[in-house]
Structure 1
Amino acid sequence: MPEPLISIVIPAYNYASLLPRALDSVLCQMADDIELIIVNDGSTDDTREVLDTYLAGREGNITVVHQANAGAGSARNHGIRLARGEYALMLDADDELLADALDHLREAVRAHPEAGLVLGGQISVYPDGRERVRTPTPAVGTPEQLIRRYLLQKKISISHCCTLFRRDLLLARPYPESLRSAEDIPVFAYLLVNASVALVSAPLARIHKHPDSLRHSRVDEEGVEEGIEEVFSHLPSACQHLRSRYSAQCYLSVFRAALLAKDYPAARHYYLRSLRLSPIQALRWSYLRKALKLGTL
């Protein structure tokens, strides 16, 4: 078979009930220049059976692999290593591509062959049925400006399912497999400063928000520090002065998570850690008022 243009990698862990929706959204767009790779990351539900039944008798560039549970980063890396496409798209098993997504991406890489990253729009779908269309923002500037806008100002949004990556860049900077949460941030930060970015304003995917997302899981202090190190160890020297502010922001995130879990001693500890790292970050009123209620200050 000819080499595919785009490899779609779906890491699947315990989403047997939702996986067919993601598969349908890809299979209806399959063509000779597309390959699909599903990595079952040691699911304990019916994911294996769903895959066996759903893909039985289907032909084309479809690969299914099963591995012991090692996390989303490991599953994505496994799929990327198996992939043959020049570009890769990471589709989460609980999300779905829109019907014209791959056409938009083909047009984008034809128009911008120099791009290592293509950012598309998305439709965020909330548990109560609300939907919000989000369009990508330009990602241009110096490495320091890009990292500031991505990590601190949140003005550059990058999400799996609506982002196309040049695969050689993902091989050069794999997902850190020791992180079980936010393992995509170090990769996205690296790509921003090492690749030119093209935009597709049209929505490419429906991304379903739900409370059991890994993004909402608790992370201990060791995990926070490891995540910070993963981000900055691959960034140029011009970006290193942003580390303290980003670290403070990470501790504010776990401060908020500890509050939600009613772990007030941990919340106080994380807030004071953030305050020492960057008063500018920690003294924003949205966080300060929560700390004051705790009697932290």
Structure 2
Amino acid sequence: MDPTTFLIQCLNAVQYGLLLFLIASGLTLIFGIMGVINLAHGAFYMIGAYLAFTLSSLTGNFVLALLLGVVLSVLFGYLLEWGFFSFLYEREHLMQVLMTFGLILVFEELRSILVGDDVHGVPVPSWLAGGVELGNGMTYPVYRLFISGVCLAVALGMYFLIKKTRLGMMVRAGATNREMVQSLGINITLLYRLVFAGGVALAVLAGMIAAPVSSVYPGMGNSVLIICFVVVVIGGIGSVKGALVAALLIGFVDTFGKVFWQEAAGALVYVLMAAILIWRPEGLFKQGT
């Protein structure tokens, strides 16, 4: 493998890993803080992709569609937690799994009614349609660099929010001991709704920015959900830093596995998960980090 090809594969691995982080960070926050196993998280990714298709068609502006989609997803997540997930906290995990799986079926049926079952494409904005010259006549798409840039910006924003703000302090405390947080007079109900709304918005944003490179199709959130749970398990439940490290690890293992050992590439990620869990059963990082 020549250096240019190696660089391209590294960029692909980073872009895939950062996109996984964007989805999985919301999942690990919801699971780690609220204690809810949310199988519908992959459906939020699908909703984001269909929002990108619909809003970009209506507005003619991809950036405006992204902004509108994030705002709508925060409102949707807030209302969904108020009307549905707030009743799941005291339920057993089996009940949570069954009820959130039911949500997947509801969202898929609504998608079929509202948008149809066809596969759609979202055009890359013209100002992001070019490529960056890497040498040897090879280029790398600017839009993929844009995806990585957006994910990095969100990761830095999440770090600042969680580590440097009062809200982040409450989130970290809630992940560690929710009863103590509530006894200190913090509105744990509002905190849960904000966390859930933020988790939904992260998954929706990931679906929106991924739509131009992966197309938009029914059931696209199902495979993403499985790999996101792998990220959460490897990184440590409730750890955003762990989700970032785990997602990048998976990105490199998956990308270079497909290059060097295509027949076994699909299993390598799960071998990685098994190896890390044998070494550290709780994951790479502790909850709340």
Q: Give the structure-2-normalised TM-score.
A: 0.28
Instruction: Select the structure with the greater relative contact order (CA < 8 A; seq sep ≥ 6).
Output: 2
Which of structures 1 and 2 has the bigger CA Rg? 1
- Write 1 or 2 for the structure with the bigger share of helix: 2
